[in-house]
Structures are given as structure tokens and as C-alpha cells.
Structure 1
Amino acid sequence: MSEHAPSYYAATANSAPRHPALAGEVTADVVVVGGGFTGLSAALSAVEAGYSVVLLEAKRIGWGASGRNGGQMIPGMRWSAADLLSEFGEDRARALVALGLEASKRVRTRIARHGVACDLRDGHFHAAWKPAHLDTMKRECEVLERLAGSQNLSVVERADVPHYVASEAYHGGLYDPGGGHLHPLNYALGLADAALAAGVRIFEGSPATAMDHGTPVRVTTPRGTVSARMGVLACDSDVGQIEPAFRSAMMPIANYNVATAPLGEAAAQALILSNASIAESRFVLNYYRLTADNRLLFGGGEKYTPTPPPSIPGFVRPFMEQIFPQLRGVPIDYGWGGMVGVTLNRLPQFGRTGNTFYAHGYSGHGVLLTTLAGELIVEAMRGTAERFDLMAALPRQPFPGGRLLRHPLHVAGMLWYALKDRL
């Protein structure tokens, strides 16, 4: 059975049981395919609702993006509240903003209820890369207050940036106390522990080789099958391998992270006095935070092919040192990467095909939205689908170019946006 990819998270993971591979035929009310945040949340919510549940994971719990991401709890979706208001009107935008804000509460509720040890910290700082971006953030505060009331957001002028992050790169920013950061692999393992204790049957090393969405839903693995009344497909960037119809809807992008050697408490706090998660306002952004043992965990740069660079620390270091010249030459203890599923418009995709529900394409905002997604899926299973349908009605479009040109056209588009970041 595959181990977790080497990373800071794998090296500091809580102890977790190994789960057997599926063998033979089993039945359940619900079968969940995917052992990341969405699948674990759906499985846990479903068993709490009284369903019998089987969860299938191709490798290990939290093996994919859920166990490798930056750990950034960024409230909302990739679209701002102002964008939602402009596109959908006041009533629909208000409902979508409310869901985005609830996602943060749902993660914190799960962590508290199940006693998940995942280094939870509060606060997110959205760093303005250009002066115009700070103006946009001020407008965003006004729209959020109109749609959702006061969220205790703080607009940070350039002179006050050092109170949040020790970098000269930014023209201000927006601080959100409702955001935060956590150890994502330990959060996934904690959800799995809670699901197992509640009665979910978890099988690792059990990739779905076929999935029939009819009655019953039937999932085939190399050594067994699961038949269930309802299914959940929760595979994000890998979903096209199981359901070819989704291949044109999402593009996997490789993200890379590093963790420095421990900096010491004083030096670490001097870098990020707020201990917030930090993400930039440019399209191809850097994102970073401190770890519980006073390392800087930094994500920077993107690649549009699955082949990793020869040296991940060598790839990420220039981005880190651009933001923090004071860290030039600091040892890097860990470097790792993984694929993240993005949609063309960067909005998540929820829906139903036959008797299978799905949610994917979080486009970099998956730490919070995934837990909510699993819970909304189970709400819909139980017959209360209004909130799930609100997300399922978000616009979607395939990547242009067909099978052969889809990826080159997307790369060209991303390079154009990266150029705009530098202008």
C-alpha cells in the first residue's frame, strides 16, 4: 500500500491506523469514493444521519491534495463577494456569501467536536500585490458588510503591513479573523478517526476502477465491489479517471511547498507577527504561514505538467526569498508537491449524476469548502437540497480546445495572467 508522499505533514502526522483493502462484495446505504476532506466529511455526516457507509480510498487517507496543501483556511470562494454580487444579483450573492462564511464555522465545529489535533490557528491576511488591489479590498469590505453584516475585517494600509508580515512586497491588505490555518493531513486523519468511530467502514488501497451511478450505485475495485443506494464521488483532480465526463471540466495544476528548518520562536514571530495565513492578491500567487514548530511553510510558483521540477526546494526558494530576503540561504528541510483541481472560472462544481453526488474543483479554496461540501451532499441525500442546489447552479464551462488542445490553451492563459501580475 502506498505511503504518504514525503512532506512536512507526513513527517509530523498523528498516528493513524492502516485500513484494509476491500475484498469481496459489500453493501451499504452510501458508498463514498475518495478519502480526502470532501469524502471524509460526507462519510461522517452520512453515518451521523443514520446511513451505513463505506468509504474507498485508492491509496491512504489524505493522500492527495487534502494532505499536501498549504493548510490555508481562506473564507469564501475564489470569486469575491463583489464578483458574486455583480454576476448573480443581491439575493443569490447573499446566499452564496453565507455559505462561504459557514464553511469556516463547520471546520472549526468538526475540530472541536472530535478533538482533532491539527494546530488550528486563527487569522488570514490577504496581501495586496498592487495599490489597485488594496482599493479592490476596500470595496470588498463594503460589499461583505452589505451582504452579510460586519465580519470584523480590517483594511491594512501599507505602513501597517509589518504588524502582519515582515515583507516590503505589499501595498497593504485585508485581515480576516475568520480565516486561519491548520495541519491539513492531521485534520484529514482526525476526520477519518471520527468516521471510523461512528461506524464508517474505511478501505485503503482500494482504487475505484469503475462506477455505475444507477440503482444500485456500484463501485468496482481490483479485489471487490460495493453496492449502495447512493454514491459520493469526491476525487477532485483525479475525478476524470473515474468519470470521463468530468475530464473537460477540470484541469490539474501542480503546486509546490517547502518548509524551512525551525527558525526559533522569536525569528518566526518576527516574520509573521500576526501568525496568520498569508496569501497574495495576484493571480499566480505565493501563500505561506508558520508551523507549530516555528518553520516557515511556503508555497510558490505553479507548473502545468505533472512532472515535478528536479528540485522542489530549488524551484520554490526564489519565490520565498523574493518575499523574505532576510531568509536568503536558510536551510529547507522539506519540499513536496501535488495536483490541485481548478475549473475554468475557478468556481467549484457540485452536482448529481444518477444516484451519485459529487463536488470538486475548489480551485485553491478547498480547505474550508470541502467540509461544507460533504455536509451539503448529505443534506441533499436526506431531501433538503436547497443549499446543495445553490452550489450546483453555479455556472460551469469546459476548458476549450478538446482533448488535444485543452491543456496547451490553459497553459497559455495562465502565462498571460502571470504576465499581468508583473505589469
Structure 2
Amino acid sequence: MSTVFNFTFVPWFRSVAPYIHMHRGKTFVVGIAGEAIAAGKLQNLAQDLALIQSMGVKVVLVHGFRPQVNEQLAAKGHTPKYSHGIRITDSVALDCAQEAAGQLRYEIEAAFSQGLPNTPMAGSTVRVISGNFITARPVGIVDGVDFIHSGLVRKVDVDGIMRTLDMGAMVLLSPFGFSPTGEAFNLAMEEVATSVAAELQADKLIFVTEVPGIRIEPHAPASEDNPIDTELPLAAAKQLLASLPTPTEPTDIGFYLQHCVKACEEGVERSHILPFAVDGALLLEVYVHDGIGTMVIDEKLEELREATADDVGGILQLIEPFEKDGTLVKRDRTEIERDIDHYTIIDHDGVIFACAALYPYPESKTAEMAALTVSPQSQGQGDGEKVLKRIEQRARAMGLKSIFVLTTRTMHWFIKRGFAQVDPDWLPEARKRKYNWDRKSQVLVKKL
């Protein structure tokens, strides 16, 4: 038993190490839906957040309290009222919100204080500090609806939060804010988390929610072949939002997505939507290569896009050294010009840093990914993975079931990313005819 454990633990731990280094010293704003706490997930979430913090991440935790406030209202014989997806907070609802927030703060602080032996919290000291870091203003009257004590974020005390984080404490924010005259306003957790992430210029905004993530084709039936999109470029996320009706319920596709998009537009490079139903979702998203939820990523610094005729010269320049040393099969200019619409590239200020081509074999429900190349200047920065993900998206959109590569040198890179070796006889007939038996390329396949 222990030998098996050693064999799995050591490679696993080594594979996690790069992410531990990458996130040390970074700031994450984590918004936890009240539904997660109502579903009994607080204990495990607290343990995972304590673990993430112990690995050098600065954590701001914002809790929601939608079901808890509704429970308090029901106990008082009142019905929750919403409009435009925002709670209408009358004086009874404000009392209920303050009671629910007080109760939840105690529960959250207690969860972070349980350093019991034989639990992940053993030996950990997590100081949780909350305070009046948020100044609010009233929502006011919208389309004739008076939102009374419902508010929006006016100002975030960035210095106060940063000083608290630098002391090594975790900052806990309730969805409450106070006006300069001391009036209390009920805020939305999603808006608080988004505003705080933008003001702090956090490295990540993470929502732990009741939805499993986002699928670009929301109306397609969910199946093994159609999982969520683990990565959504900001442009694709905005396009998707524009095609959806205005979200009002947390389970609407655009509900959390609109906040992720806003955060990315305001300088937060990565925003995530994770399901609380999956135990360890936070750890899986932050420390495992493919993650578990949907990540909206701002790619403004570099553009990941399909190639055009203007890119032929740049692609030739990129692949030429690799053709010379035999890593890639030689392609001439006319071939690349003819196939240019098969290529996906990453360009940074007009310079092409990575490329790959997709050649579909629709009759075999597969496609070849060819000429995957990353410039030596940007190797190790994830450009190869970005291109691979986009090629996978393109293949999925064509209704294909797999992609394959032929390689002589980079087999391990592909195996780490979910490809499996097959016999060259597996190849579609049309591709088998062109297979160069002298080159002895390995054939690797990834199911989509």
C-alpha cells in the first residue's frame, strides 16, 4: 500500500510545485455564495483556504448570505422581494441581513479557528480580520422601483485591506457597506468581490457557487463530450454575455459571468467560477493544470487568434529554426499560404510567438494538430498550452471527437496534457498514406 502511495504522491507533489511557486505572494479575492454555507461546505472551504494561505497567497474572503437572509425573513413571515436581480431591502430585510451577516461571521471565524489534530487545520493559525472596509451608496430608485436599503459599492479602503493582508491575516468582508453618514446598506456579494478585486488589482477573483462553470453552447445537452469551458478568453465571454438575456437568478449563465467580465475589464487578469458541490474545488482550480471550473482570462497583452494571409511571413520565421534541426517537417511558403486558415497563432505587438495548424478528417471524427511551435523567447510561459486549448475548442466546434499529433521529440509534453500513444495504424486512411515510415514519428491522440 505505502509503495503505491509513494509512487502516486511524489509525482503528484512535484506536479503541484510550479503552481505553489507561481501563486506565492499573489492576492486572491474569493467570493463564497451563501448557498455553499447553507449546503454545509464551510468547514472544507475554510480548510482549503487556510491551506492556500499557508502557501503564501493573500486571501480576501467575501461571503454571500442570500438563503440565510431569506430564512430569517420567512421566520418573520415576510417574503423576499427582488427586482433587476437585486434584493429590495426594506427595514425588516435590513434587520434580517444584519442578523444573518453577524451569525455567518461568527461561523466563518469559528471554522478558521479549529486547529484540531489530524485535520488539515492542525498547527495552522489563521487570523481573520473584518472591518468597515467598504463605503456604500444607495441603489436608489430604478425604473420606478425603490430599493430602499440596498446599496452599491462606492469606495474600497485599499490601504486598510493591503495593510491587513501584509500582516499575514485573512480579510473577511460581509456584503455590507456604510455611507459616510453611518447608514447601513445591504450589498450583493458578487458586486463586493468584483469591486474589491478590481480596486486591489488582485491576481484572481474566484466565485465558489452553485453553478459548475460556463459552457459556450448553453443549450447543448450536457454530456461527457460537452463539459464546461475551462478557459474563456475575455472577448468570447463578452460575446456570450451579449447573446444572453439579462441575468436575474444566480443559476442564470450570465449571473457570475458578468462579474468575471467586469473584473477582467478592470485589470484582474483571471476570474473563476467554481462549483461548491465538488469537494476541494478551490485546490483543483488553483493547483491542478486543467482546473475544474471556468476561468475568464484577459489576453489584452497578447492576442490568441486565427491566422490571416498577413501572418504567413511571421509563421515561416517562427518555424524555420525547428525545421532546420529536424523537430518539424519542412513546409514551404505556398503550403502555409494555402492552409493559412488552419492556423491559430499568438501574436504580441505584431510578433508571432506561437502557432499550430488544425487539419480535420471529418469522416474519422478526428483532426491532426500540426506544426505546434513556441518561440524559444517565450517557452515555459504557457503559450503552447493556450494554442493547444484553442485548437481543441476549434475541433470541438467542428463536432470532432479527438485530435492527434505526430511527433519525434516532444512526446512527453503531449502525454502530460492528456494525449495517449497509439499505433500508426490508428491514423485515418488519408493520413496513413502520407505517413513517413522513415521518420518513425510517434502518434498521440487526445479524446475531446
Give the structure-1-normalised TM-score. 0.25
Query: Which protein has greater RCO, CA pairs closer than 8 Å, 6+ apart?
Result: 1
Larger radius of gyration: 2
